[in-house]
């Protein structure tokens, strides 16, 4: 390997799998997922340049539902499955020794923050995509800023908590992001991070078909232990870990098994579907998601769930 490991700087690495953009079909280029032979961190190889990587993100990557009946159904579904995230963050805020707003990095259309605001919390969103930040405000009434966490207009120690759901696996330099979060969080505040968990059963069983590797958008594939080490290095102590997410784990298995049914992939690939066909595919997908629940609960109970959500305390 010519590229050094981003965590330890060591170059030799073992090739685990090969694959291309299975979900959105943005490229035919084949990438590998390799394991660093020194620190065992899993990473995409080779890393695309930032300019190339941009082409692997479809324009419609963030999600805002339209206002028709099927979309309203999808929105209801999204609210039900997001409760896990909302409850995890509310509990973290209850345990935090700090008062103040919550900043969600990679806020998308802002539904999560809207639900948190409905529980009486003050919230702010941040997203790379101008359309996402605009939609968070226009659709969901969530104040949102367009930009990068490393260059935000916020004063240091402004927030009781910073949340990052499925953000850091997309970053070339997660350390700079986590350090920026550290500066923005008040003493005693909390960081909540969620990533796909590369030490899950789904990866073992499905290999490159596991949608958690998401070639070529996931530059680093964390195991729960890697995330703990990274957080510690950036000034945080992991205090709580959850391996199950109702939004992500069953749907992740469904999308791994039947990527052609994934609602977001269908939208991004702009597949023509009359409303009835769209509803039928949505229901079929929903059925597959429900069938996936028992397995994903079992793997999570064995600490091998396909996502890992961590609450971390800002160290003094
Ligand atoms: Zn390494």
**Model confidence pLDDT, tens digit, residues 228-240:** 999 999 999 999 9
- The answer to whether the CB of 144 falls within 8 A of the CB of 107 is yes
pLDDT at 66: 61
pLDDT band at residue 279 using 50, 70 and 90 as cut-offs: confident
Q: What are the backbone angles phi and psi of residue 186, rounded to the nearest 5°? A: -70, 155
Half-sphere exposure of 46 (CA within 13 A, CB side): 8
| Structure token pair of residue 295 | 């397995």
For residue 45, the CA-to-ligand 1 centroid distance in Å is 13
pLDDT at 60: 72
pTM of the model: 0.93
Of 65-74, 108-117, 134-143, 284-293, least confident by mean pLDDT is 65-74
pLDDT at 196: 98
pLDDT greater than 90 at residue 299: yes
Indicate the SS3 state at residue 96: coil
For residue 150, the CA-to-ligand 1 centroid distance in Å is 24
CA distance 152 to 103: 11
Q: What are the backbone angles phi and psi of residue 67, rounded to the nearest 5°? A: -105, 30
For residue 128, the CA-to-ligand 1 centroid distance in Å is 28
Measured CA angle at 71 (ends 68, 76), to 5 deg:
125
pLDDT band at residue 67 using 50, 70 and 90 as cut-offs: low
User: Sign of the CA dihedral 24, 26, 30, 36?
Assistant: negative
Q: What is the dihedral of CA 107, 219, 202, 40, to 10 degrees?
A: -130
For residue 41, the CA-to-ligand 1 centroid distance in Å is 5
For residue 280, the CA-to-ligand 1 centroid distance in Å is 46
pLDDT greater than 70 at residue 256: yes
Measured CA angle at 35 (ends 30, 39), to 5 deg:
150
Query: C-alpha distances in angstroms, 41 versus 8, 68, 130, 170, 232?
Result: 9, 44, 32, 15, 15
pLDDT greater than 70 at residue 1: no
Q: What share of the chain is helix, strand, coil (3-state, %, to 5)?
A: 40, 20, 40
For residue 297, the CA-to-ligand 1 centroid distance in Å is 31
């Amino acid at each position: 390997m010519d590229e050094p490991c981003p965590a330890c700087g060591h170059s030799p690495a073992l090739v685990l799998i090969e694959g291309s953009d299975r979900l959105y079909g943005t490229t035919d280029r084949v990438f590998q997922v390799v394991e660093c032979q020194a620190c065992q961190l899993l990473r995409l190889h080779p890393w695309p340049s930032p300019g190339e990587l941009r082409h692997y993100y479809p324009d419609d990557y963030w999600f805002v539902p339209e206002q028709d009946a099927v979309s309203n159904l999808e929105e209801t579904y999204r609210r039900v499955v997001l409760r896990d995230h909302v409850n995890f963050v509310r509990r973290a805020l209850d345990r935090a020794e700090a008062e103040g707003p919550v900043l969600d990095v990679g806020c998308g259309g802002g539904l999560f923050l809207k639900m948190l605001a409905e529980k009486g919390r003050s919230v702010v969103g941040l997203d790379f995509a101008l359309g996402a930040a605009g939609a968070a405000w226009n659709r969901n009434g969530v104040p949102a800023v367009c930009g990068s966490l490393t260059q935000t207009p916020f004063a240091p120690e402004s927030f009781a908590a910073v949340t990052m759901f499925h953000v850091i696996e997309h970053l070339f330099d997660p350390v700079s992001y986590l350090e920026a979060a550290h500066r923005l969080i008040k003493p005693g505040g909390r960081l909540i991070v969620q990533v796909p968990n590369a030490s899950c059963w789904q990866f073992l069983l499905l290999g490159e078909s596991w949608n958690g590797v998401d070639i070529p958008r996931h530059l680093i594939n964390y195991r729960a232990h890697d995330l703990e080490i990274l957080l510690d290095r950036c000034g945080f102590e992991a205090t709580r870990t959850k391996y199950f997410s109702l939004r992500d784990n069953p749907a992740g298995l469904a999308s791994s098994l039947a990527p052609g049914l994934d609602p977001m992939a269908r939208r991004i690939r702009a597949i023509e579907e009359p409303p009835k066909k769209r509803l039928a595919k949505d229901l079929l997908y929903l059925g597959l998601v429900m069938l996936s629940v028992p397995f994903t609960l079992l793997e999570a109970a064995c600490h091998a769930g396909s996502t890992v959500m961590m609450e971390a305390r800002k160290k003094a």
